[in-house]
């Protein structure tokens, strides 16, 4: 009974998630609406390709056109063109090799056994990317779906070209995708996630109620940060791609597009995430009873938690700056105040660690490492153009 209730709860959560995504797609532009638009365009491209090849031309291998068209409605026009070329090459290779094997052997089973190993190897050719799999699938279709002849082979290739042309044309001419909002959204989400992770570690250290399980949870949070960093890199790539070969963006309109955050911000947060991950890893080592790493004294560790809380507050301000660049003047003063607190806390901890009478040698060794990691986070958060960023 409990297992059934758990399954029903999971289904309820998934249904609620779908409903929330549908609501976001209806209310405002975003990832959900982009997904809806792309899905409808792919369906329209496949329908149009079938109407031309199957209904109007009545081609015997009309399936090829909608099959290729639906796949080539990609996230960007540039990607549609690039993937289209890769797919056409894979389809041509698979079709021609299959036809050649059938002509040589005169037996479908033997032809399949001879061709599939070759086209499967070719499908892994890096220049074909993820479109290489269409080589073996097309070879199978060629050998098993109809009598193999020069007529069916030529029709199959022509239908693939037709489907590619329709898919690319629909993607380029009907609401061509421009992915500019994804970079600031992912960058802001990464900054917010960093703030939450640092705040969680800080809370555990200041309240002194953390354990090995708590440290493992901190490590899971940093794992999510790495995933967000990967999403940011993907969004940056999509943004660059969506501006290439896009017919909806002539020179004048392109100059009016909102500016993207500089790519140095990606590097900044990538470095911060690496340091936060190192802090979490050190905490796991401290909590592991099987390791020889000593547990630092309570008060310095408590003070270190407060330093991380100040760094979390600085990350919050940086996240606000990403989402609202126009508020930079007011946010600069707020960031200055937070970094002043970081500097004071860092200086006090450094002085405490250099005083041999106040802390144990074990605390100096472990907290010294943690303090260097926090200092690296601090220097990455501080803007490069500000004098503070050059201070040691």
Kindly indicate the confidence band of residue 132, based on its pLDDT and cuts at 50, 70 and 90: very high
What is the tens place of the pLDDT at every residue in 241-250?
Answer: 888 878 877 6
Work out the end-to-end distance of the chain between its first and last CA atoms, rounded to an integer number of angstroms: 61
**The dihedral of CA 97, 99, 103, 105: what is its sign?**
positive
**Quick count: other Cβ atoms within 10 Å of Cβ 361?**
8
Q: What is the mean pLDDT of residues 44-67?
A: 91
Asked which of 3-17, 33-47, 103-117, 301-315 is least confident by mean pLDDT, the reply is: 3-17
What is the tens place of the pLDDT at every residue in 169-217?
Answer: 999 989 887 777 788 889 999 999 999 999 999 999 888 677 888 888 9
Q: Which of 171, 163, 147 is nearest to 42 (CA)?
A: 171
Q: What is the mean pLDDT of residues 65-72?
A: 93
Phi and psi based region of residue 114 (left: phi greater than 0; alpha: psi -120 to 50; beta: remaining): alpha
Tokens matching residue 74: 């990609």
How far apart CA 145 and CA 140 sit, in angstroms, is: 8
Kindly indicate the confidence band of residue 44, based on its pLDDT and cuts at 50, 70 and 90: very high
- Residue 389, pLDDT > 50, answer no
What is the tens place of the pLDDT at every residue in 84-108?
Answer: 999 999 999 999 999 999 999 989 9
Q: Which of 179, 193, 208, 102 is nearest to 146 (CA)?
A: 102
CA 155 to chain CA centroid, Å, is: 39
Under DSSP, the state recorded for 29 is -
Kindly indicate the confidence band of residue 385, based on its pLDDT and cuts at 50, 70 and 90: very low
Q: What percent of the chain has pLDDT over 70?
A: 85
Q: In this structure, are residues 352 and 320 in contact, taking their beta carbons and an 8 Å threshold?
A: no
Up-side HSE of residue 33: CA atoms within 13 Å toward CB? 14
CB burial readout 193-217, b (16+ within 10 A) else e = bbbbbbbbbbbbbbeeebeeebbee
pTM assigned to the model: 0.74
Kindly indicate the confidence band of residue 37, based on its pLDDT and cuts at 50, 70 and 90: confident
């Amino acid at each position: 009974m409990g297992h059934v209730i758990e399954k029903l709860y999971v289904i309820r959560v998934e249904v609620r998630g779908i409903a929330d995504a549908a609501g976001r797609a209806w209310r405002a532009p975003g990832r959900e609406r982009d997904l809806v638009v792309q899905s409808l365009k792919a369906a329209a491209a496949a329908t149009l390709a079938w109407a031309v090849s199957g209904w109007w031309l009545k081609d015997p291998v009309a399936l090829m056109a909608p099959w290729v068209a639906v796949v080539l409605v990609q996230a960007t026009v540039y990607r549609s063109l690039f993937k289209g070329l890769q797919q056409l090459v894979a389809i041509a290779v698979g079709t021609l090799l299959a036809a050649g094997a059938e002509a040589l052997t005169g037996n479908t089973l033997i032809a399949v056994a001879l061709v599939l190993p070759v086209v499967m190897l070719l499908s892994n050719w890096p220049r074909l990317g993820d479109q290489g799999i269409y080589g073996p699938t097309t070879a199978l279709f060629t050998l098993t779906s109809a009598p193999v002849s020069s007529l069916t082979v030529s029709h199959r290739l022509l239908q693939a070209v037709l489907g590619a042309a329709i898919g690319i044309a629909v993607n380029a001419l009907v609401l061509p995708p421009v992915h500019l909002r994804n970079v600031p959204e992912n960058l802001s989400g990464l900054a917010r996630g960093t703030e939450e992770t640092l705040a969680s570690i800080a809370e555990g250290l200041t309240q002194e109620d953390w354990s090995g399980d708590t440290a493992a949870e901190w490590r899971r949070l940093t794992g999510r940060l790495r995933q967000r960093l990967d999403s940011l890199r993907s969004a940056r790539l999509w943004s660059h791609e969506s501006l290439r070969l896009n017919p909806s963006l002539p020179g004048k309109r392109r100059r009016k597009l909102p500016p993207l955050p500089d790519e140095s911000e990606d590097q900044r947060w990538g470095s911060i995430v690496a340091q936060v991950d190192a802090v979490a890893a050190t905490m796991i080592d401290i909590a592991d009873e099987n390791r020889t790493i000593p547990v630092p004294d309570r008060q310095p560790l408590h003070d270190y938690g407060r330093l991380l809380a100040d760094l979390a507050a600085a990350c919050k301000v940086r996240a606000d700056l990403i989402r609202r660049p126009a508020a930079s003047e007011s946010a600069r003063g707020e960031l200055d105040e937070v970094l002043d607190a970081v500097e004071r806390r860092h200086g006090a901890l450094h002085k405490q660690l250099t005083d041999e009478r106040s802390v144990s040698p074990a605390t100096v060794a472990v907290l010294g490492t943690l303090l260097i990691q926090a200092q690296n986070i601090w220097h990455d958060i501080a803007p490069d153009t500000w004098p503070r960023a050059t201070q040691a």
